[in-house]
Amino acid sequence: MSSKPWNLSSHLPPTADHANPPTGYPARIIREQNEEAERAQRERIEQSSELNTPAMRIRAWERLHRLTLPRGSAHAVLDVVAKATRLTLEQVREEQRRRSEPARLPQPIDSAGNHDANSDS
């Protein structure tokens, strides 16, 4: 009875692409690590830039840490978010409140191009 021997190398990541070394496995890992470091640096800048709104700064903090802003207004991490984003604790809580509000539906527009406010005035 003949059996084909099991080949361990087919189950391991390639060590290098000899035909094109810059695109080999080790080079790809280094490139991905560099890209991740650059992304994190951009997020750190975005999370504290005074050119951004509090909502934009908090979203940058969330992307950087891969977390979402807690819903509890007394959560301990809110101080950390405020410090990292250079916002006040009240600004962070205001973003929490804004996110907890139900989404507002757009107002219908009548044939004259006016928003319908459900009134006959």
Task: Map out the domains of the chain as residue ranges.
Answer: 24-100
The closest alpha carbon to 73, from 91, 52, 59, belongs to 91
Q: Mean pLDDT for each 10-residue chunk of the chain (121 residues)?
A: 58 55 82 93 91 96 94 94 96 95 81 62 48
What percent of the chain is helix, strand and coil (3-state, nearest 5)?
A: 55, 0, 45
| Alpha-helical segments (H) within 1-121 | 25-48, 54-65, 77-85, 89-100
From the CB of residue 99, how many other CB atoms can be counted at a distance below 10 Å? 12
**pTM, 2 dp:** 0.61
